[in-house]
A and B are shown apart, each in its own frame.
Chain A
Amino acid sequence: MGKRQLGARKPIEVAIIGGGCASVAAAFELTRPSQKGAYHVTIYQLGWRLGGKGASGRGPMGRIEEHGLHVWLGCYENAFLLLRQCYEELKTTAKAGEAKGRTRNWDDFFLPDSHIAVAGASAQGGWVNWAAHFPPAPGLPGDAIELQNPFALTHYFARAVSLLRTLLLGLETFRATGMTNADADFDSSQTRDELPGETVDIAARIGELLRAGALASAAIAVEALALVEAALKSIPKVPENMLLLVLETIASALRKQFEAVVSSDDQARYQWEIIDLILANLVGAVRYKLLTDPRGLDAIDHLDHREWLRENGASERAVNSPFTRVLYDIAMAYEEGDPNRPAISAGAALRGTLRFFFTYRGALFWKMRGGMGDVVFAPLYEVLRARGVTFKFFHRLRNLRLADTRKLAPREKQYVEALEFDVQAETLEGREYQPLIDIKGTPCWPSAPDYRQLKGGERMRRQGWDFESDWDQRKAATLRLQVTHDFDFVVLGTGIGALPHVCREIIATNARWHDMVTRVKTVATQAFQIWLDADLQDLGWDIPPVTLTSFVKPFDTWADMGHVVPAENWPDPQPRTSAYFCNVLADPPDEPNLRDIEYPKRRRKEVRNNAIRFLNSDVEKLWPKAKRRSGEFRWELLVDASAKAGHKRGATRARFSTQYWTANVNPSDRYVLSVPGSASHRISPLDNTYDNLTIAGDWTDCSLNVGCVEAAVMSGRLAAHAISRFPPLEDIIGFDHP
């Protein structure tokens, strides 16, 4: 597409606001060759680069600078499908000369990774890291779904059964022997002669349970006995004091035995916690009739995940285990970024867990061999541009204006009448802005705009215009687009955090929209990246490179990213590895004033201090050899990007200034949460309240309903369906899912 034939009907104009995953997915679907040019898409993007929360840039030495850690999962069927099709099309357009040469395959840019690690407190004190290797699953994400449908419930069940069989049948049972010396004064064989028969029965039954039962049964027995013990202590002294002695001693011995096994054996503890969690979910699934409830897992959306586990019998140990915490950490599930306010809906948690562990194809994780901007958004930009999509960079939506209700025809729905933008910058001579740069033959997005292409660009650079900051309101012009003249349909693909600022009319007049922006929560995030002159083994990490989570706050998630260093442009010797850390960032007590232009800088400084403190105090638990005898981080490990220019810094914390960190505080950059009870307040892209408007983003009701690339792509595909009836809903993989 790109040229219109004479006499052909004019295409329908679609204005897409925002350039994140959801928006580009919608654009990709609307401009497919099969749509035969029916739609002309214009993407309006603030700043100089596509990507939204997934945007990345290239900084000094061509180093990749991300918003945070972006790892694709093997269950991202829609996202991989889109990206693989994009790469195939790129080869075609490259041959036609309409895009820069792109002959590499999608899997040249992805690295399968089957290791995940979860950090937890060790029984011996300190931290222990449980690393798991998930075996490769057949196929590749994005393969035709008919070949092997990982979303068939049969597949789920089969893999769940397999996991449970392995864990349950492979578990060692308790040994009834092995009492501690403290219990030696209780000899059950002696007591047996003295006690009434019923007491012997109890002791025998409990012993039998311990010998023959599964670990979970014994845990249940211990907890039941704890209840008995507490109750018995409140009973006045009765003639059956011997019975009390037996019961108390047995209970004490049981608990000690149980605690002795679990507290000293991290392996047993980990197995028990996983089993406990799985069983609780199974019990809950039966109890809540999830198989037959038409709401599917949304039937338990009102419960917090931990609440759900407790209600269904999980022990407190399991509820607070790293394996529970990992769900919260991966989903950044902390309201207002407060680690003391974890919140994720049981429905979202279970749905995400099922898809994450049971539907991945190929590997559990797929790490990108570059920034997300390089691997995802640059190819998509090139394909979309070749298809005829128009890109308007430096356009910030100010207001989405509705039609006057008094002018609506009978039975006419409300609609978007106008779009009002700030034009942040204009290009010289009105030329199309060229956003990409070349790093080692790969088209990439820079970390700063190319001021040379902008009118007054040098002034903007000197004055430090921050085009991506909501607090920097400077602009070159304004623009108003009118319905039917400039657009027919609107896809609103900004982040939900931006909606109160740009959809004031809708929110003021539509209760559902008001509820959505109030009840669907978001959280700011922080991240830092370091480049190191040592590899993981030198640092003291002695297992394969992993993605690890559930570590200490404020940076509980770490990924080794050494594989992207070759894609950067370091002079020799290159850094031996790089590491990304990320987590939530707490909101300030008061909402920042939109005119406070320094606010983002202050928050960045806060993240910098957090990172330095973390490197000094906590990272040694992962990298024991990364600290000096004094306890301070070995700052000399950090590769100084400015050294080449002769500004090498000493081996002090000042060296951290040469690394990269970010505070993602812009409203549209905030990460969407799935707090309990929020699913029903999300609005679907299919919603037709405003008949020329649809929405797209991982914050919408897209069926998956968690913050991730896959949800965003699903949402974008739904938005395209809302406008064009394509793709069919049945083709949006995982849309129809419990």
Chain B
Amino acid sequence: MAKKTVGRKSKRLRRRDPDRGAPNRRAIDHIMLAAKKRAGAKHRAGPKPRISASIQQAIGSMVQTSSNVIEEQIRAGQAAAERLRLGIASSRQLNADVNMLVESLAAATRQLGTTWLQVVSIIVRAIGTQAPTAGGGSSGGGPASPTWSWPGLGAITQTGKSGNATTSSSITPADPAMIGVPPQIVVNSKRVTNVTLDLHPRSARFVPFVQQLIAANAKHSLSSVKFTVSPDSHCLILTVNVPTRQPAGNYSGPIIDSSTSQEGGTLSVTISR
């Protein structure tokens, strides 16, 4: 047997209890923490992130609503299935049940999937994963901090500035259960003084497209306006470019849902001399 080391110490050392013994697993806390860290970051450009009480409330409402929707759908589906199993003689009742079952299940899946997408989009946008690129191009100047308004869960409007332009981006989904995220607006011309975007998506698969904006003088049109997706934050951005010789005026036109070819909003751009 090896020798023991002799007489080194007499006092036994003990570990202290740690300040905490478990990780913080609450997801909402991490969102708050990330927001605080970003707010305290020295080199942060672009809009200041906020987790406002209204956003928390909206998220909470959405989570609760979604949970309720799921529970209702599952209960309704189970009830319908049970009736079917028991054998319903009346075809009217059977038809109603089949319709309800099929549509409810399909709608619930679609709705919840997209609703969740909207929720996370809100969170992403609210905390601010990526500041929009500086508007104005050579004219410089990034967008001013946008303001958010929450008139209700149905409509959301974001106002701000990009370059010299005052911008207003609004989204009002047809389905009140959906929450839309207004696209950011980036203006790459000093001559643009106002951009107003108003979206009315009818479904969660809404893919906006601008073909052409027309001025009061129908000979003048503006087609250098397009929707893109930010590669970093994956948010929708409306980029407004204006050719050098574009006549001044107010240009407006419809937004088309390219997945359904139906109208989904309006856009107007005011160009000064």
Interface residues of A (CB under 8 A from B): 10, 12, 149, 152-155, 157-158, 160-162, 164-165, 168-169, 196, 198-199, 201-202, 205-206, 209, 213-214, 216-218, 220-221, 224-225, 227-228, 231-232, 234-236, 238, 240, 243, 247, 279, 282-283, 285-287, 289-298, 313, 413, 415, 423, 477-486, 488-489, 684, 686-688, 691-692, 694, 701, 703, 721-723, 725, 729, 735-738
Contact = CB atoms under 8 A, between A and B. Distances in A.
A483 B4 CA distance: 11
B5 A486 contact: yes
A297 B129 contact: no
A236 B27 contact: no
Contacts of B232: 158
Given A228-B98, A692-B13, A292 B91 contact: no
Given A165-B117, A213-B110, 13 more contacts: A169-B205, A198-B92, A201-B95, A201-B99, A209-B106, A216-B113, A247-B98, A282-B113, A294-B25, A413-B14, A485-B7, A687-B21, A703-B23
A689 B29 CA distance: 29
Interface in B81-113: 81, 84-85, 87-89, 91-92, 94-95, 98-99, 101-103, 105-106, 109-110, 112-113
B95 A158 contact: no
Contacts of B14: 413, 415, 691-692
Closest 7 CB pairs of A and B: A296-B25, A231-B84, A157-B120, A217-B106, A240-B91, A691-B14, A198-B95
A154 B31 contact: yes
B124 interface: yes
A199 B95 contact: yes
Contact of B109 (A12, A220, A480): A220
Contacts of B127: 154
A488 B13 contact: yes
A619 to B, nearest CB: 40
Contacts of B95: 198-199, 201-202, 243
Contacts of B23: 703, 729, 735-737
B15 interface: yes
A209 B34 contact: no
A221 B102 contact: yes
B9 A484 contact: yes
Given A160-B120, A164-B117, A489-B15, A216 B8 contact: no
B91 A238 contact: yes
Contacts of A296: 25-27
Contact of B87 (A161, A225, A235): A235
B124 A168 contact: no
Contacts of B215: none
A227 B98 CA distance: 10
B129 A161 contact: no
Most interface-central of A224, A247, A489, A691 (chain B CB within 10 A): A224
B105 A736 contact: no
A599 B170 CA distance: 72
A155 B6 CA distance: 56
B214 to A, nearest CB: 29
B216 interface: no
Contacts, number: 236
Contact of B15 (A283, A480, A722): A722
A684 B22 contact: yes
Given A161-B121, A202-B99, A243-B91, A214 B34 contact: no
A736 B25 contact: yes
Interface in B127-163: 127, 129
A4 B268 CA distance: 76
Contacts of B89: 235, 238
Contacts of A152: 30, 34
Interface stretch (B63-71, B186-194, B219-227, B245-253): B63-71
B19 to A, nearest CB: 8
A392 to B, nearest CB: 10
Contacts of B105: 220-221, 224
Interface residues of B, number: 74
Contacts of B81: 227, 231
A236 B20 CA distance: 65
Contacts of B207: 169
8 contacts: A157-B120, A231-B81, A285-B116, A287-B71, A296-B26, A296-B27, A723-B15, A738-B30
A684 B120 contact: no
B5 to A, nearest CB: 5
A158 B124 contact: yes
A228 B99 contact: no
B205 A485 contact: no
B261 interface: no
A161 B26 contact: no
A168 B27 CA distance: 25
B234 A161 contact: yes
Given A292-B28, A297-B25, A480-B1, A216 B109 contact: yes
A282 B116 contact: yes
B10 interface: yes
Given A205-B102, A206-B102, A296-B27, A286 B15 contact: no
B233 interface: yes
B39 interface: no
B264 to A, nearest CB: 15
A313 B88 contact: no
Contacts of B16: 688, 725
Contacts of B66: 286
Contacts of A729: 18-20, 23
A729 B19 CA distance: 10
A149 B88 CA distance: 57
Given A238-B89, A286-B116, A478-B1, A484 B103 contact: no
Contacts of A282: 112-113, 116
B87 to A, nearest CB: 5
B34 A149 contact: yes
A475 to B, nearest CB: 11
Contacts of B13: 12, 484, 488-489, 692
A149 B99 CA distance: 47
A154 B63 contact: no
Most interface-central of B23, B24, B26, B31 (chain A CB within 10 A): B23
B59 interface: yes
Contact of A291 (B27, B88, B101, B103): B27
A126 to B, nearest CB: 32
A452 B161 CA distance: 78
Given A688-B17, A692-B14, A694-B15, A290 B27 contact: yes
Contact of A153 (B15, B27, B106): B27
Contacts of B84: 227-228, 231-232
B104 to A, nearest CB: 9
A104 to B, nearest CB: 33
A162 B129 CA distance: 13
A656 B186 CA distance: 65
Nearest to B260: A212
A289 B88 CA distance: 36
A221 B63 contact: no
A213 B71 CA distance: 22
B12 to A, nearest CB: 5
Given A152-B30, A162-B234, A235-B88, A283 B103 contact: no
A548 to B, nearest CB: 30
A417 B30 CA distance: 41
Contacts of A221: 102, 105-106
A483 B12 contact: yes
A293 B28 CA distance: 9
B103 A209 contact: yes
Contact of A202 (B1, B98, B110, B120): B98
Nearest to B60: A292
Contact of B2 (A165, A214, A220, A423): A423
Interface in B30-49: 30-31, 34
Contacts of A294: 25-26
Contacts of A158: 120, 124, 129, 232-234
